[in-house]
Structure formats: C-alpha cells, structure tokens
Structure 1
Amino acid sequence: MPSARSGRGFRRARAASPSRHRRLCSPCRRLLPPVRAPFANASSGYRIPHHAARERRAVVTRRIRSLLTMNAYLSLQSRRITVPGRPGPGRWTSRECCRLMFKRSRKRLVTGAPLDIGVFEEVLKRGIHEERLALARQLSAFAADPATPRGDREAVEPVLLSLSRDALPEVRAALAEGLIEARPLGADLVLTIAADEPAIALPFIAGARAIGGARQLAIFKGADTARRVALAGRPDAAPQLAAAIAGEGQREVAAALLRNAHVRLDERLLKMMFARFNKDPEVVKLLLARDDLPVEVRLAHVRLATHRLRVAGEKDNALAAAQVAAAAQQAEEKALVAVLNATHGAGELRRALIFLAEKGALTPAVVFHAACRGHAGVLAHTLTLLAGFGRRRADKVLRGRGLFGLKHLYANSELPEDLFPLAQAVLATARELGMDACGRAKADAAAFGRKVLAHLMTAHAHLPMAEKAHLVRLLARFTDSDVRKLAEKLSDEMSLAA
C-alpha cells in the first residue's frame, strides 16, 4: 500500500496544484491541513477524491492570506514562532509565498523605520514665518507625491492639520495650493481648508482631488453661495451633489451646474430645476440651450410664457382683452408646433403628446398645424393616442395599413368631423413624398402644403364646392405663409363659385 506522502496518487494530487505546493514556505505549510493520497485510507474503504483535498487546502490558504498583516510579518521576521496546533518552533523565511501574500494585502508594507516628525513640530512651535512657509510647501509636495508611502503620509497628517490652522494666511494658502493634487487626505484637513477664507478655500474646493462624492455633499450642506458655486463647477461633480443643487441650491449654484459641460444631468433633475427657477431668465435660458432637455420641459415653458403674456396683455389693455387672448393663443400654437417638430424619434414625440393631452393643450389646431407643415407623425400618433391604441398602430396608420380603416380610427379619436378629409390628404401626401421614422415628410413646409392643397382639389371631387372652400380655408390657417396666400385666394374664388 502506498504511503500518505508517496506513490502515484500523491504525485497526481501534487501535480493538480503545483503552485500552492511550491510557493508555500514551511510556516505557511504547517498551518495547512495535510493532504493525503487517494489510497491513504484504503484499509477503511474510504477514498478521498483529489478535488476535495484541493478545495480544502485552497479555503485554508485564503484564510491565511486574509489573516496575515503587516504587523504579523514584522513580528515573524524578528522572532521564532510556534504554529498553533503544531508543536515545535518554526522559522519564517522570506520566500515567494510570503511576498505574494503581502502584495495582495490591503495594507502597504513598510520595511523602514517610522517617519520622525519631531523636527516639524519644533518648526511649528518656534519657527518664524519663512520657516513655516517653507515647511508648508515641502510637506504639501511630499503629501501630494504618489510615491510617498502611506505610513509617512499618515505620519505628517497632524503637522499638515496644524499648518492649515496657522495664523498667517500665506502659510495656509501655500499649503492649500500644494495639496490640490494630493488624493488621499484626511477629512479633518480637507474640511478645515474648505472652511478657510474664500481666497484660500475656493481654488481648493474647485480643484482638489481629495474631495470625493461624500465630501462634496458634506461641504455643500454647510457652505455659502460662493463655495457652492465652486463645487458646482468641478469636473467630477458627484451625482449626489447634482441632486442636492437641483433640490436646494441657490440660483447662482444652479446656473454654475448647468454651465458645467462635464456633468450629466438626468431628466428628473432638469425638471426639478425648471420647476424651481422657471421665473429666472438666466436659468431658463441655460435649460433651453441644452440638447438633453426633456420635451415636457420645453412644452411647459411655452405654455407658461404664453400665459404670462396673456395676463400681462389683459392688465395693460383691458379693452382689447379678446385680441390679446387670440394673439397669445396663436403664439402658443406656433411655439408648441415648433417643439413637436423638433422632437427626435417616435418615443419622444409620443411623450410630448401625452404631456399635452394631460395638460389639456392637445387641441385640433395644434395637431393640424403640425401635420399641415409636414409632420404627419403628430396626426397619426394623436389619432392612436386618443383612440386608445399603441405606437405600432400609429406606424400602420402612417403607412396606410391596419385591420381597421382610418375613418373608424378618426371617429374614435373625437377630433372634429369636418377635418377628416384634411387628415386624409395630409397622410396621403406624406406617404407620397416619403417619411422618416418619426413620420416627418421629406419635404419643406411650403412644398408639403402645396401638395396637400393639390390633393384636396383632385382627390375629393365628390365634395361640394362650399365644403372644399372650407377645407382650403382651414389649410390656409395651418400652413406656411407662402401657401397661405394661395389657399386664401383659391378659397375666395371657390366661395364665389359656390
């Protein structure tokens, strides 16, 4: 019978994990459980599989690597050890297994003596202005150097904290300037510099690499407007900081955040900022200049602006209140149509229509104003939305397909019945000229309006002349100015003929 440490079975088990056997020195190997050959307990009839032995050894090896620390390494280097559970002393040898274990340790290995900071403390107590200034520059450069060991950086941390509270502003300014590029800094030191006078604190807050997301939020909660503006201009402004600015930041802070091109703001934050600052022209201008502004915000801005225009006109000229209301209504329709025409994709267009429907602003005038200018997708999605159908049905309407006819869909949408021939002409013209994925015709507004006018005159010969004149008059209201003159002239002639 082969022994426990020899034979073909042991050689096979050892070959399965050669790195663990070769890289473990004697103290580490003593801490591991013994691995026996598959036939070691053959007399009892029990076989130990290779994979079970390897897994057991791997688990214990991971435990050893997690327990070994820098202090244990230094103590084992200087004295003989006795492994628990194993009689007899052992000697720690600096081999590859030990180096591998401590490289994976989170603590940095420091083999030299700790840094003596007595000289620095003496300079702090008895040093003159020039000496403290030189010490601040040297220690800040030392702490900002990536090659500085972690233990040395932690050793000079109290000295840096004392320098940040120096009576002379030149010393504090030199220290803050030198620590801008330092990444690992203590929280007390960072907050002390951030609470200094603005000339020292603002450059540090705007560019210090040691101010992470949690520290940004902590500084924001206790800072004044100037410090908050400096935080909002950071290229690495954290998402939690952006949320805090959108929810409780001042107008200047919100404007600084909107000017920061490195920060990405989601739709929720943009809507929150518009709800808070819709009366501020500067913030509204910055919001409207963003390409990622939600379409609901643009539509809300149009309605809010026209409402203010209507109220101001009624106060200034009470006698012409009806004229002012009509002018404001036309301006609102044009602005809403411009926003709908600028949407990207069917999903954004449908969101805009749902928003207008919820606010009661999805009027037939807005729908046909956009449709007669070449955006047939507005008409198709409005029909399916009001009739209770989804987005796929709108695509079928645009392409003239579907199980139900357009007349049935139009009747369920509750749009004005007399505009149904105009809807037919718009959709037919869009299919003839070609459309993009959003339902926008591949022609300008003037060319599309002339095509719709020609379709009304030729495809609806069965309509009475008076009804045709009414449709042409409606088209003149909804189309471009060039087509409007032609449609109005044609409508007058048809009215005379009728």
Structure 2
Amino acid sequence: MILRQFLTLTQNASSERRAEAAGTLARSYLQGRLGPDAAWEAKTALLALLDDPAPAVRRALAEACAGSDQAPRPLIVALASDQPDIACLVLARSPVLMDADLVDCVAMGCEETRAAVAGRVELSKPVAAALAEVGGVPSLIALAANRSARIGVAALLRMVERHGEDAELRQALLARDDLAIEVRHTIVSLVAEQLSRLGQDAGWISSERGARVAREARDAAALALSDEAGEAGLGRLVAHLRVQEQLTAGLILRAILSLRLPFAEVALAELSGLSRARVAGIMLEPHGAGYAALHRRAGLPALLLPAIRAALGVWRDEADRRSGVSGPRLARSMIEAALTACETMPFAEARSLMALLARFEAEAARDEARILTHEQAEARARETAEDEPREAMLLAAPEPVEARIGIPAEAASALPVSQEIVVPTAEPRLPDTATAWPLAPRPEDRIGAAVVPAEATPDGVPESAEAVLAGLAEELMARFLAERGQVSDPAPALAPPPLPSPAPEIRPEPPRSARPRAIALAVAAGMIPEELVLSYRADRARQRLAA
C-alpha cells in the first residue's frame, strides 16, 4: 500500500518534490515505527529511488541515511558508488560500510571520495594502508590530520616515500602525537636531501659536498632523536637505520664522540648479536681484547679501533674521577684523544678519519660556545630581572634622612627609635648656614685643631671630639696625644722650642638644645680616624682576654 501510494504521488511530480518525498520516506523507515509489511514496502521504495535520474533525489536519500546504522546496506553501498558529491556523504560517516567496502571505494574512487574516507572517525589500519598506497596528496593530508585514525608505521613510511616532498603533508605528519620515531627520522632525512639537491641545483655546493652534508645531517638527526626515544624507541630506531643501510661506522663513531653511549651500545649489540648489557660491560674496558673482538664482530673497520679506544678511555677515566667534566668539554677531550691516537698511523690511511674527527671537533667547539652563550644570556636576564624591582624601589623610596644630613651609616644605625628624624617632603632648598646642621665638621672641631672649651648641652653631654675621646681608655688616649704631638711638632729635636702661642679665643655659642645627643655622638665618631678606632677595639679585646 505504501509503495503504491508513493509511486502514485511521485509519478508526475517535479524533482524537488520527489526529493522531499524520498527524504520523508527514508526518515520514516529509519525511525522503526512501521510494521513489518510497511517496512518492507518502504525499503523497496527506497531502493527503487536509486534509479531516479535526478541527483537531488539520491542526495536526499544519502543525507537521510548517512549517519544511521539502520539504513539498508544495499542502499548505502549503492550510494557509496554514486557520483562524488553523493558518495562522500555516506563514505564520510556511514556505520553500515565495512572495511572491505571502504578499501574498494579507495581503490576505485577519486581523490574527493578518498579524502572523505580518510576523514572517518576511528579509521582502521587496513583502510589507512590502502589510502597510503594509492592516495594522492589531498587524501593523505586528510588522513594525517585525522587524529583518531589508526595508521601503522609501514603506512606512514609509505606515505613519506610516495609524497614526502610535499611540505604540507610533512607538517601534518609531524603534528601527530603518535608519530613513530622511524617516520620522524625518514622525514628529516628527506628534508636534508632536498636541501642538498637545492644547493647543488643552484650551484652553491658540489655534488660530493652536498652528499656529505646530507649524510651528516641525517646522522645528527638520528642521534638527536635517540636522546628522547627511550629504551624501546632506541631499539626500533637502530633497527630502522640498519634496514635503511644507514647504520654506518661513522654514525657509531659520532655517537661515541658525542656522548651518546646508549645509542652506541644498542648499535653494537644490533650488529654483533650480543646483548646490550654485555656490550656495555665490554665498552668499559676499551683497551682489552674483548673490545677488539666486539669491534671485529660488529663489522667496524680496523682503522677506527685506535680512535674509539682512545675516546672510550677518556670517557671511562672521567667517569671514575667524577670530576664534573661533561657535555661539549668532555666530547672535545675525547675527540682530541682520538686525533692523538691517529697521529701514529700512516697518513694515507688516517687522512679521511682525521678529517672526520676535525669536523667533529669543530661541531663540539660550536656546541660549547652555544651553551656558554646561552648560559650567559640567561644569567644576564636574571640579573636584569632582579635589578629592575630594586631600581624601581630606589626610585620610589625617598632619600634616607641620614644621607641628607651627612650622618655615616654606622652612626645612623645607632640612633634610637625615639629620636627618629622627620624631614618634610617639601621642595629641596639650600641649607641656611646660620640655623641648619653643618654637612661637614667645622675647622675647630677637627682632630688636631686647637682645643676650645665646649659648652655642655642641657643633657650634660659634651659635643667636641676631645670630650668624646675623654671617655676612652687611658692607653688609647696617651697614644692619641702622642700622635697629635708628632703631627703638631714636626721640627727636629735640636731646633729651639717654639714661642708659646696665644691662648685661644673663647667664643660663646648659642645653646644647642635642638641638637639631639645621639647626633652629636655620631658626628664626633665620624671625625675620629678609622685606624684609631680599630686600634682601640684591638686594645679592648686584649684587655678582655687578659682578664
């Protein structure tokens, strides 16, 4: 009944009307509210709509059935083989399609449909492998950007092998968190070869030098990746290098001289067939017969044996001494030892090896300079960061009162809290010599000047230097008076005694009630020579020891 009514309604209708009716019928069937007979008739009507010449009708069916797991499988398979704009709707998200259907669509479809398959959620490894084998750059970029896709290492390597020259594809692959270390090394090697070819095509470098640059860049990348590979990743990396015929004697020598001893241990174990633990124990005794046997078993050239032995000897000695020498400094020491070991060999045989070691030494020196420069820059940045808050605090804080009135820092620290000096924060003016406290000792207050009897303050504290010295020890006072007599009487002993000088004029001073007692003591202490104070402290210390 449903099939007959549908055919009657759509027999003479327009394509837009038929498309609307097809979508309504498909949604009714997928909801599961029809009886068995009605569901069978609805399914038959949907399959009959596949022969509709209007693409809009088939598109309506694809839009209604693409995300449902209740859609008829024959309908979905047929729509997956339709024209690309219709097929992409079901290929991108239909749960009815199996891996075999997707692989067939990848093999027989176009780049648009392959890109739709590559963007599916939870894409399986077989489908990803099919895409890696036949897909073009757009579909491979979509596959690499699909974080939920499960892509095997072999498929990733095949993608790099086929279209690794595309920079967008390399960027999408390197952005994946699960990218295998073998694939990363392959990408780096490919980039090094591209740069080498670019230099050769431009005439900047020769073909021999370009090949050497690419090889050394590939080896350096392998060692850099080994630092973060871990135990399992390191073994996979060494196995990959051996399969690619890149596990060379020069790479092992570079690993030893750059302190990548774990890589060297795994590489020698891979080449010799021994366990890594046994290889590590043999490398601790490089001058013994065991390492010579390991060297031969790994297939390394005999020319490298003296250099590797000398380098491992330096490394073992530094490890035993634990002198703290590491990094580029230790690497340079090992390279220098290797160069010294090569000096006794015939020049014709050791020429290439010494040139290689010289390049390694230059690289180690540059690495040491980079590290030192980086450390100095960090230290300077820290000092700048520490000085900025201090400078800001000094600029924001007012000038200390003691500095403004000329009191020494030692004397200012002795000021009691009750006698704190408050200076108004007004615009600075020149001091009034008649009322302001003098910024420097007056001539009559200096040590060695004529003694003028001084008046006492209301507190009963004398304010002259002689009065302060009167409270010192008798021995120190005697020494002070003797030194002052020598200064005041520098004439020879046979000279006639000088005429008595007139008595000093006593000039009364105004009362100094405004000057605190502590400030007077601080100023008087500032006029006493430092060596006199130090000798007084020494005498007091001896007196305490004697007591």
Check whether TM > 0.5. Answer: yes
Mark the CA change 1:384 to 1:431 in structure 2 (over 3 Å): closer, same or farther: farther
Which structure has the larger Rg over C-alpha atoms? Answer: 2
CA distance 1:303–1:416, change in 2 (3 Å): farther
TM alignment of 1:131-210, pairs within 5 A: 132-145=18-31, 152-210=38-96
C-alpha distance in structure 1 between counterparts of 2:124 and 2:370, whole Å = 56
Indicate the residue corresponding to 1:409 in structure 2. Answer: 294
Alignment-derived partner of residue 450 in structure 1: 329
Residue 381 of structure 1 corresponds to 266
Deviation at 1:377, TM superposition (A): 0.3
Aligned-pair CA distance for 1:186: 3.3
Within a 5 Å distance, the mapping from 1:61-460 to structure 2 comes to 116-127=2-13, 132-145=18-31, 152-317=38-203, 320=206, 323-345=209-231, 347-394=232-279, 396=281, 405-406=290-291, 408-410=293-295, 412-413=297-298, 414=300, 415-426=304-315, 447-451=326-330
Residue identity opposite 2:307 in structure 1: D
% of aligned pairs identical? 23
Contact 2:292 2:305 in 1 (8 A): no
CA–CA distance in 2 between the matches of 1:146 and 1:431? 79
Ranges in structure 2 where 5+ consecutive residues have no aligned partner: 345-353, 373-547
Report if the CA contact (8 A) 1:225-1:253 is conserved: yes
Distance 1:147 1:211, change over 3 A: farther
State the Cα distance separating 1:391 from its structure 2 match: 3.2
Q: Distance in 2 between matches of 1:261 and 1:338?
A: 26
Structure 2 counterpart of 1:349, one-letter code? L
Does structure 2 retain, via aligned residues, the 8 Å contact 1:477–1:484?
Answer: no
Kept after mapping to 2: 8 A contact 1:145/1:182 = no
Shift of 1:256: 1.5
The answer (yes or no) to whether the contact 1:185–1:210 under 8 Å persists in 2 is yes
> Are 2:66 and 2:90, in contact at CA under 8 Å, matched by a contact in 1?
yes
Q: Write the distance in 2 (CA, Å) between the matches of 1:319 and 1:371.
A: 29
| 1:94 counterpart residue number | none
Partner of 1:11: none
Output one character per residue of 1:236-274: Cα deviation in whole Å (capped at 9) or x when no partner.
Answer: 434432222122222222221121111111122122222
Structure 2 counterpart SS, 1:208: coil
Query: How many Å separate the matches in 2 of 1:381 and 1:224?
Result: 45
| 1:68 counterpart residue number | none
Specify whether residues 270 and 452 from structure 1 end up closer, same or farther in structure 2 by C-alpha distance, changes over 3 A only: closer
8 Å CA contact 2:106, 2:114 repeated in 1: yes
Q: Which amino acid aligns with 1:120?
A: F
TM-score by length of 1: 0.58
Aligned residues: 354
Cα deviation for residue 127 of structure 1 reads: 4.8
Per the alignment, in what secondary structure is the counterpart of residue 150 of structure 2?
Answer: coil
Kept in 2, the 8 Å contact 1:213–1:240? The answer is yes
SS state of the match for residue 223, structure 2?
helix
TM-fit CA distance, 1:207: 2.2
Aligned to 2:364: 479
Displacement after TM superposition at 1:369 (Å)? 3.2
Compute the RMSD of aligned alpha carbons.
Answer: 4.2
Gaps of 5+ in 1: 1-114, 434-442, 488-498
Q: 1:109 corresponds to which residue?
A: none
Aligned mates of 1:293, 1:479 — CA distance in 2? 30
Q: Do the aligned partners of 2:252 and 2:267 also contact (CA within 8 Å) in 1?
A: yes
Q: For 1:102-146, what per-residue CA distance to the aligned partner results, in whole angstroms no more than 9, with x for missing partners?
A: xxxxxxxxxxxxx75332232232556675344323222122225
Distance 1:297 1:336, change over 3 A: same
Partners of 2:207 and 2:334 in 1: how far apart? 39
Q: Given that residues 212 and 238 in structure 1 are in contact (C-alpha distance below 8 angstroms), is that contact kept between their aligned partners in structure 2?
A: no
Change (3 A) 1:236 1:449: closer
In structure 1, what is the Cα distance between the partners aligned to 2:148 and 2:371?
50
TM-score (norm 2): 0.54
Instruction: Report if aligned partners of 2:335, 2:360 keep a CA contact under 8 Å in 1.
Output: no
Q: Is the 8 A contact 1:398 1:427 kept in 2?
A: no
Give the letter for the 2:252 counterpart.
V
Partner Cα separation in structure 2 for residue 418 and residue 339 of structure 1: 25
In the alignment, the residues of structure 2 paired with residue 214 and residue 203 of structure 1 have an alpha-carbon distance, to the nearest angstrom, of 18
Mapped partners of 1:482, 1:214: distance in 2: 53
